[in-house]
Structure 1
Amino acid sequence: MESELFELAEQLGRLLKANGKSIATVESCTGGWIAQTITEVPGSSAWFDRGFVTYSNMAKVQMLGVSPQTLENYGAVSAETATEMAAGALAHSDADVAVAVTGIAGPDGGTPEKPVGTVFIAWADKNGKAKVVRKQLSGNRRQIRAQTVKSAVEGMWLFY
Protein backbone atom coordinates (compact mmCIF):
# COMPACT_ATOMS: atom_id res chain seq x y z
CA MET A 1 0.00 0.00 0.00
CA GLU A 2 2.81 2.43 0.85
CA SER A 3 4.42 2.17 -2.60
CA GLU A 4 1.01 2.56 -4.27
CA LEU A 5 0.31 5.72 -2.24
CA PHE A 6 3.74 7.10 -3.09
CA GLU A 7 3.16 6.49 -6.80
CA LEU A 8 -0.21 8.23 -6.66
CA ALA A 9 1.32 11.19 -4.83
CA GLU A 10 4.09 11.40 -7.45
CA GLN A 11 1.50 11.42 -10.24
CA LEU A 12 -0.49 14.11 -8.43
CA GLY A 13 2.66 16.18 -7.99
CA ARG A 14 3.54 15.97 -11.67
CA LEU A 15 0.01 17.05 -12.60
CA LEU A 16 -0.06 19.98 -10.17
CA LYS A 17 3.46 21.12 -11.06
CA ALA A 18 2.73 20.94 -14.80
CA ASN A 19 -0.32 23.15 -14.27
CA GLY A 20 1.37 25.55 -11.84
CA LYS A 21 -1.02 24.59 -9.04
CA SER A 22 -0.56 23.92 -5.36
CA ILE A 23 -2.60 21.84 -2.94
CA ALA A 24 -3.77 22.04 0.66
CA THR A 25 -5.04 19.08 2.63
CA VAL A 26 -7.57 18.99 5.43
CA GLU A 27 -7.72 15.84 7.48
CA SER A 28 -9.79 14.59 10.32
CA CYS A 29 -9.96 10.79 10.36
CA THR A 30 -6.59 10.37 8.61
CA GLY A 31 -4.72 12.57 11.09
CA GLY A 32 -2.18 13.99 8.63
CA TRP A 33 -1.53 10.81 6.64
CA ILE A 34 -2.45 12.47 3.32
CA ALA A 35 0.02 15.31 3.94
CA GLN A 36 2.64 12.79 5.02
CA THR A 37 2.11 10.78 1.83
CA ILE A 38 2.44 13.88 -0.32
CA THR A 39 5.54 15.16 1.44
CA GLU A 40 7.29 11.81 0.92
CA VAL A 41 7.68 12.93 -2.70
CA PRO A 42 10.97 14.79 -3.21
CA GLY A 43 10.32 18.33 -4.37
CA SER A 44 6.73 18.39 -3.07
CA SER A 45 7.37 21.81 -1.55
CA ALA A 46 6.91 23.15 -5.08
CA TRP A 47 3.25 22.10 -5.12
CA PHE A 48 2.20 21.31 -1.53
CA ASP A 49 1.11 24.48 0.27
CA ARG A 50 0.00 23.19 3.68
CA GLY A 51 -2.00 20.65 5.62
CA PHE A 52 -4.58 21.09 8.33
CA VAL A 53 -5.33 18.35 10.86
CA THR A 54 -8.70 19.29 12.30
CA TYR A 55 -9.63 16.32 14.43
CA SER A 56 -11.92 18.24 16.77
CA ASN A 57 -15.01 20.18 15.77
CA MET A 58 -13.54 23.29 17.41
CA ALA A 59 -10.49 23.03 15.17
CA LYS A 60 -12.76 22.80 12.13
CA VAL A 61 -14.52 25.99 13.21
CA GLN A 62 -11.43 27.94 14.32
CA MET A 63 -8.97 26.95 11.60
CA LEU A 64 -11.26 26.56 8.60
CA GLY A 65 -14.41 28.53 9.33
CA VAL A 66 -16.70 25.49 9.28
CA SER A 67 -20.10 26.65 10.51
CA PRO A 68 -21.11 25.41 13.97
CA GLN A 69 -24.62 25.17 12.51
CA THR A 70 -23.39 22.75 9.84
CA LEU A 71 -21.75 20.59 12.50
CA GLU A 72 -24.92 20.66 14.61
CA ASN A 73 -27.29 19.94 11.72
CA TYR A 74 -25.27 17.35 9.78
CA GLY A 75 -22.46 16.22 12.08
CA ALA A 76 -18.71 16.25 11.64
CA VAL A 77 -18.93 13.25 9.34
CA SER A 78 -21.05 14.59 6.50
CA ALA A 79 -20.87 15.84 2.95
CA GLU A 80 -21.71 19.34 4.15
CA THR A 81 -18.86 19.43 6.66
CA ALA A 82 -16.34 17.95 4.22
CA THR A 83 -17.34 20.56 1.63
CA GLU A 84 -16.90 23.40 4.13
CA MET A 85 -13.56 21.95 5.21
CA ALA A 86 -12.27 22.01 1.63
CA ALA A 87 -13.56 25.55 1.08
CA GLY A 88 -11.98 26.61 4.38
CA ALA A 89 -8.62 25.22 3.32
CA LEU A 90 -8.74 27.34 0.18
CA ALA A 91 -9.78 30.43 2.13
CA HIS A 92 -7.01 29.95 4.72
CA SER A 93 -4.13 29.08 2.41
CA ASP A 94 -2.46 30.04 -0.84
CA ALA A 95 -3.40 26.70 -2.43
CA ASP A 96 -5.25 26.45 -5.71
CA VAL A 97 -6.88 23.12 -4.89
CA ALA A 98 -7.84 21.33 -1.68
CA VAL A 99 -8.90 17.91 -0.50
CA ALA A 100 -10.71 17.33 2.79
CA VAL A 101 -11.58 14.10 4.57
CA THR A 102 -13.78 13.33 7.53
CA GLY A 103 -14.98 9.93 8.63
CA ILE A 104 -15.38 7.19 11.20
CA ALA A 105 -12.32 4.94 11.17
CA GLY A 106 -13.43 2.93 14.22
CA PRO A 107 -13.45 0.71 15.95
CA ASP A 108 -16.00 2.86 17.84
CA GLY A 109 -18.13 5.84 16.87
CA GLY A 110 -20.39 4.36 14.23
CA THR A 111 -24.16 4.68 14.13
CA PRO A 112 -26.80 2.92 12.01
CA GLU A 113 -26.86 5.95 9.66
CA LYS A 114 -23.07 6.33 9.62
CA PRO A 115 -21.42 3.02 10.49
CA VAL A 116 -17.70 2.58 11.03
CA GLY A 117 -16.02 3.02 7.66
CA THR A 118 -18.20 5.95 6.57
CA VAL A 119 -15.97 8.59 5.01
CA PHE A 120 -16.67 11.81 3.14
CA ILE A 121 -14.04 13.23 0.80
CA ALA A 122 -14.38 16.69 -0.74
CA TRP A 123 -12.24 18.28 -3.43
CA ALA A 124 -12.42 21.96 -4.40
CA ASP A 125 -10.52 24.57 -6.35
CA LYS A 126 -10.36 28.35 -6.32
CA ASN A 127 -12.44 28.48 -9.52
CA GLY A 128 -15.47 27.09 -7.70
CA LYS A 129 -15.21 23.53 -8.94
CA ALA A 130 -16.14 21.11 -6.17
CA LYS A 131 -17.01 17.47 -5.64
CA VAL A 132 -17.83 15.40 -2.59
CA VAL A 133 -18.26 11.65 -2.27
CA ARG A 134 -19.40 9.32 0.46
CA LYS A 135 -17.53 6.05 0.78
CA GLN A 136 -18.32 3.02 2.88
CA LEU A 137 -14.97 1.38 3.59
CA SER A 138 -14.25 -1.83 5.44
CA GLY A 139 -11.45 -3.26 7.53
CA ASN A 140 -9.75 -2.28 10.74
CA ARG A 141 -8.90 1.32 11.69
CA ARG A 142 -5.57 1.36 9.82
CA GLN A 143 -7.11 -0.19 6.71
CA ILE A 144 -9.98 2.32 6.65
CA ARG A 145 -7.55 5.21 7.06
CA ALA A 146 -5.24 3.86 4.33
CA GLN A 147 -8.15 3.44 1.92
CA THR A 148 -9.24 7.00 2.69
CA VAL A 149 -5.77 8.37 1.92
CA LYS A 150 -5.68 6.44 -1.36
CA SER A 151 -9.15 7.64 -2.38
CA ALA A 152 -8.36 11.25 -1.47
CA VAL A 153 -5.12 11.39 -3.46
CA GLU A 154 -6.47 9.34 -6.35
CA GLY A 155 -9.63 11.44 -6.52
CA MET A 156 -7.65 14.65 -6.59
CA TRP A 157 -5.51 13.35 -9.43
CA LEU A 158 -8.61 12.29 -11.39
CA PHE A 159 -10.55 15.43 -10.43
CA TYR A 160 -8.01 17.76 -12.01
Structure 2
Amino acid sequence: MAATQKGADASPMTIREVSRLSGLSEPTLRYYEKIGLIDPVDRDESSGHRRYSATAVETIEALGCLRATGVSVQDMRAYLRHLAEEDGSAGQLRELFRRNADRVAQEMERMRVQLRYLQLKADLWDTRERGDTAAERRAVEEIVPVVRELR
Protein backbone atom coordinates (compact mmCIF):
# COMPACT_ATOMS: atom_id res chain seq x y z
CA MET A 1 0.00 0.00 0.00
CA ALA A 2 1.16 3.52 -0.67
CA ALA A 3 1.08 4.57 2.97
CA THR A 4 3.39 1.77 4.01
CA GLN A 5 5.83 2.65 1.24
CA LYS A 6 6.29 6.05 2.85
CA GLY A 7 7.21 4.37 6.13
CA ALA A 8 5.97 4.71 9.67
CA ASP A 9 7.71 8.07 10.09
CA ALA A 10 5.91 9.63 7.12
CA SER A 11 4.47 13.06 7.73
CA PRO A 12 0.72 13.15 8.33
CA MET A 13 -1.44 13.54 5.26
CA THR A 14 -4.25 16.01 4.66
CA ILE A 15 -7.80 14.93 3.92
CA ARG A 16 -7.34 15.97 0.30
CA GLU A 17 -4.22 13.80 -0.05
CA VAL A 18 -5.93 10.84 1.60
CA SER A 19 -8.99 11.30 -0.61
CA ARG A 20 -6.88 11.24 -3.77
CA LEU A 21 -4.88 8.25 -2.57
CA SER A 22 -7.84 6.16 -1.41
CA GLY A 23 -10.47 7.11 -3.97
CA LEU A 24 -12.85 8.03 -1.14
CA SER A 25 -14.32 11.52 -1.20
CA GLU A 26 -13.61 13.98 1.58
CA PRO A 27 -17.24 13.81 2.80
CA THR A 28 -16.97 9.99 2.88
CA LEU A 29 -13.80 10.21 4.97
CA ARG A 30 -15.55 12.54 7.41
CA TYR A 31 -18.57 10.22 7.49
CA TYR A 32 -16.43 7.14 8.16
CA GLU A 33 -14.82 8.99 11.06
CA LYS A 34 -18.21 10.15 12.36
CA ILE A 35 -19.67 6.62 12.41
CA GLY A 36 -16.51 5.17 13.95
CA LEU A 37 -15.41 3.15 10.95
CA ILE A 38 -12.06 4.90 11.24
CA ASP A 39 -10.61 6.15 14.51
CA PRO A 40 -10.83 9.84 15.32
CA VAL A 41 -8.26 11.67 13.23
CA ASP A 42 -5.65 13.93 14.81
CA ARG A 43 -6.01 17.62 14.08
CA ASP A 44 -3.42 20.23 13.29
CA GLU A 45 -3.15 22.42 16.40
CA SER A 46 -3.05 25.71 14.52
CA SER A 47 -5.64 25.09 11.79
CA GLY A 48 -7.79 22.28 13.19
CA HIS A 49 -7.48 20.43 9.87
CA ARG A 50 -7.37 16.65 9.89
CA ARG A 51 -3.95 15.04 9.67
CA TYR A 52 -3.97 11.32 8.87
CA SER A 53 -1.22 9.06 10.16
CA ALA A 54 0.35 6.36 7.99
CA THR A 55 -1.58 3.73 9.98
CA ALA A 56 -4.88 5.54 9.39
CA VAL A 57 -4.08 5.86 5.70
CA GLU A 58 -3.44 2.11 5.44
CA THR A 59 -6.85 1.43 6.94
CA ILE A 60 -8.51 3.98 4.68
CA GLU A 61 -6.86 2.51 1.58
CA ALA A 62 -8.27 -0.90 2.51
CA LEU A 63 -11.71 0.65 3.06
CA GLY A 64 -11.45 2.35 -0.33
CA CYS A 65 -10.86 -1.02 -1.98
CA LEU A 66 -13.75 -2.58 -0.11
CA ARG A 67 -16.07 0.28 -1.04
CA ALA A 68 -15.01 0.08 -4.69
CA THR A 69 -16.22 -3.52 -4.73
CA GLY A 70 -19.54 -2.64 -3.11
CA VAL A 71 -18.82 -4.05 0.35
CA SER A 72 -21.31 -2.72 2.90
CA VAL A 73 -20.34 -0.58 5.88
CA GLN A 74 -21.46 -3.46 8.09
CA ASP A 75 -19.01 -5.81 6.35
CA MET A 76 -16.29 -3.14 6.52
CA ARG A 77 -16.80 -3.02 10.29
CA ALA A 78 -16.59 -6.82 10.45
CA TYR A 79 -13.43 -6.77 8.33
CA LEU A 80 -11.72 -4.30 10.64
CA ARG A 81 -12.91 -6.15 13.74
CA HIS A 82 -11.58 -9.48 12.44
CA LEU A 83 -8.25 -7.91 11.47
CA ALA A 84 -7.84 -6.72 15.05
CA GLU A 85 -8.38 -10.23 16.46
CA GLU A 86 -5.34 -12.22 17.40
CA ASP A 87 -6.44 -15.68 16.26
CA GLY A 88 -9.27 -17.43 14.49
CA SER A 89 -10.29 -14.63 12.17
CA ALA A 90 -8.98 -16.06 8.90
CA GLY A 91 -12.02 -18.26 8.41
CA GLN A 92 -14.39 -15.40 9.14
CA LEU A 93 -12.56 -13.11 6.74
CA ARG A 94 -12.56 -15.82 4.09
CA GLU A 95 -16.34 -16.13 4.43
CA LEU A 96 -16.80 -12.35 4.34
CA PHE A 97 -14.86 -12.15 1.07
CA ARG A 98 -16.51 -15.24 -0.43
CA ARG A 99 -19.96 -13.87 0.38
CA ASN A 100 -19.08 -10.57 -1.28
CA ALA A 101 -17.54 -12.35 -4.27
CA ASP A 102 -20.80 -14.29 -4.67
CA ARG A 103 -22.74 -11.01 -4.50
CA VAL A 104 -20.57 -9.49 -7.24
CA ALA A 105 -20.96 -12.63 -9.38
CA GLN A 106 -24.75 -12.34 -9.08
CA GLU A 107 -24.59 -8.66 -10.01
CA MET A 108 -22.45 -9.52 -13.04
CA GLU A 109 -24.98 -12.14 -14.15
CA ARG A 110 -27.81 -9.60 -13.83
CA MET A 111 -25.78 -7.14 -15.86
CA ARG A 112 -25.09 -9.79 -18.51
CA VAL A 113 -28.86 -10.28 -18.92
CA GLN A 114 -29.40 -6.52 -19.02
CA LEU A 115 -26.74 -6.16 -21.70
CA ARG A 116 -28.26 -8.97 -23.76
CA TYR A 117 -31.70 -7.33 -23.53
CA LEU A 118 -30.36 -3.96 -24.70
CA GLN A 119 -28.44 -5.54 -27.57
CA LEU A 120 -31.52 -7.47 -28.70
CA LYS A 121 -33.69 -4.37 -28.50
CA ALA A 122 -31.18 -2.48 -30.65
CA ASP A 123 -31.28 -5.35 -33.14
CA LEU A 124 -35.09 -5.28 -33.10
CA TRP A 125 -35.20 -1.60 -33.91
CA ASP A 126 -32.63 -2.16 -36.63
CA THR A 127 -34.91 -4.75 -38.26
CA ARG A 128 -37.85 -2.33 -38.04
CA GLU A 129 -35.83 0.46 -39.58
CA ARG A 130 -34.90 -1.83 -42.48
CA GLY A 131 -38.49 -3.09 -42.80
CA ASP A 132 -37.40 -6.71 -42.47
CA THR A 133 -40.50 -8.29 -40.87
CA ALA A 134 -39.08 -11.82 -40.85
CA ALA A 135 -35.98 -10.68 -38.98
CA GLU A 136 -38.19 -8.63 -36.66
CA ARG A 137 -40.20 -11.75 -35.72
CA ARG A 138 -36.98 -13.64 -34.99
CA ALA A 139 -35.71 -10.75 -32.86
CA VAL A 140 -38.93 -10.70 -30.85
CA GLU A 141 -38.65 -14.45 -30.28
CA GLU A 142 -35.11 -13.95 -28.96
CA ILE A 143 -36.13 -11.12 -26.65
CA VAL A 144 -39.03 -12.91 -24.91
CA PRO A 145 -36.91 -15.30 -22.80
CA VAL A 146 -34.51 -12.49 -21.90
CA VAL A 147 -37.44 -10.37 -20.70
CA ARG A 148 -38.39 -13.24 -18.37
CA GLU A 149 -34.84 -13.30 -17.01
CA LEU A 150 -35.00 -9.56 -16.29
CA ARG A 151 -37.93 -10.09 -13.96
Question: TM (normalized to structure 2)?
Answer: 0.24
Greater radius of gyration (CA): 2
- Which one scores higher on RCO, CA 8 angstroms, separation ≥ 6? 1
Question: TM (normalized to structure 1)?
Answer: 0.23
Per residue, is there more helix in 1 or in 2? 2
Per residue, is there more strand in 1 or in 2? 1
